[in-house]
Amino acid sequence: MIEIEAIRHRVETNTILHELSLNLGEGRIGIIGANGSGKSTFARLLNGLILPSAGRVRVHGHDTRAAGDVVRALVGFVFQNPDHQIVYPIVEEDVGFGLRNAGLRGDALSCAVTEALESFGLTEKRNQPAHLLSGGEKQLLALAGILALAPRVVVLDEPTALLDLRNRRKIARILADLPQQVVLVTHDLDMLDGFDRVLVFDSGRIVADDTPARAIAHYIRLMEA
Ligand SMILES: Nc1ncnc2c1ncn2[C@@H]1O[C@H](COP(=O)(O)OP(=O)(O)O)[C@@H](O)[C@H]1O
Ligand SMILES: [Mg+2]
């Protein structure tokens, strides 16, 4: 459960998000909208990467301003470009990074890495340099590193923008099977099949909050206007 209470976000004199209150309950939530409509800013508010200029965001009761560390443990964030997320040179080290931060050592760490790589089909790449992975494999590695930490919510900001159709479908299937709450920013409207709710952003406002079919229709009308 994420509660967004009367937030506004400004950078200098620019209003990037106008006043906004809503709850994101459980389930899969999509976010769509034109370039520059405020989607990434909104997504980053959800785990405290950005703090709102006014109002507050609470994740399972924890305020992103007062309890940033708790919130970041609850909310995993996946960026569009996995190169911004992969920090270690070797695949297994990268997946191990977050787990080590979470306190795992020795066999427990090694088992958790094995499990994470297996569930994303990356077992064979375990000892390879991360920078030699394909774009799709890199995005899977970034996702594996986040999900290994068992966050309650996963926020993804255009995770498939750099991927081909096969890898996009792979990510879609992985997301469909996740037990966690998913918040997905995307221009890939097919990815929203089976989602519970889709928000449409326009110039820093939410102009539709509806089923995927109705929200997408609203977005298409907006783009054609
Ligand atoms: N740190 C910032 N400083 C100034 N302007 C920003 C900053 N972050 C975002 N913006 C502006 O806010 C608007 C919304 O950005 P963003 O949330 O990235 O939109 P989207 O993800 O929908 O493309 C854009 O006009 C962008 O240029
Ligand atoms: Mg964006």
φ, ψ for residue 107, nearest 5 deg = -60, -40
Largest CA distance in the chain: 58
Of all ligands present, the nearest one to the C-alpha of 44 is 1
- At residue 225, the pLDDT reads 87
Query: Ligand 1: which residue has its CA nearest to atom 16?
Result: 38
Hey, is 85 helix, strand or coil?
coil
The whole-number pLDDT of residue 66 equals: 97
Give yes or no for residue 26 having a pLDDT over 90: no
Given a cut of 90, whether residue 10 has pLDDT beyond it is yes
Of 7, 15, 16, the residue with max ligand 1 atoms within 8 A of its CB, to mutate for a pocket test, comes to 16
- pLDDT tens string 42-60: 999 999 999 999 999 999 9
Task: List pLDDT tens digits, range 163-199.
Answer: 889 889 989 999 999 999 999 999 999 999 999 999 9
User: What CATH topology corresponds to 2-86+151-224?
Assistant: Rossmann fold (3.40.50)
DSSP string, 51-93: --SEEEEEETTEETTT-HHHHHHHEEEE-SSGGGT--SSBHHH
pTM above 0.75, yes or no: yes
How crowded is residue 217: how many other Cβ atoms within 10 Å of its Cβ?
A: 14
The pLDDT-based confidence of 119 (bands split at 50, 70, 90) is: confident
Residue to mutate (ligand 1; options 8, 13, 41; most atoms within 8 A of CB): 41
**pLDDT of 6:** 97
Alpha carbons within 13 angstroms on the beta-carbon side of residue 16 total 19
Ligand nearest to the CA of 158: 2
Read off the pLDDT of residues 145-162 as tens digits, 9 standing for 90 and up. 999 888 999 999 999 988
- Paired residues of 157 in beta bridges: 185
Sign of the alpha-carbon torsion through 218, 7, 9, 59: negative
Token digits for 59? Answer: 């994740």
Checking if the pLDDT of 11 tops 90, the result is: yes
Q: Which pLDDT band, with edges at 50, 70 and 90, does 102 fall under?
A: confident
Report phi then psi at 102, rounded to 5.
-80, 0
Closest residue to atom 7 of ligand 1, CA basis: 11
Pseudo-torsion of CA 23, 29, 35, 39, nearest 10°? 30
> What value does the mean pLDDT of the chain take?
94
Q: Is 73 helix (H, G, I), strand (E, B) or coil?
A: helix
Say if CB 20 and CB 4 are below 8 A apart.
Answer: yes
Write out the residues surrounding ion ligand 2, Cβ under 5 A. 40
Q: Whose CA is nearest to atom 3 of ligand 1?
A: 11
Please state the domain extents for the chain: 2-86+151-224
Per-residue pLDDT for 37 more than 90?
A: yes
* Residue identifier of the C-alpha nearest atom 26 of ligand 1: 36
What are the backbone angles phi and psi of residue 204, rounded to the nearest 5°?
Answer: 80, 15
Categorize the per-residue pLDDT at 18 as very low, low, confident or very high, splitting at 50, 70 and 90: very high
* C-alpha of 150 from chain center: 13
Nearest CA to ligand 1 atom 6: 11
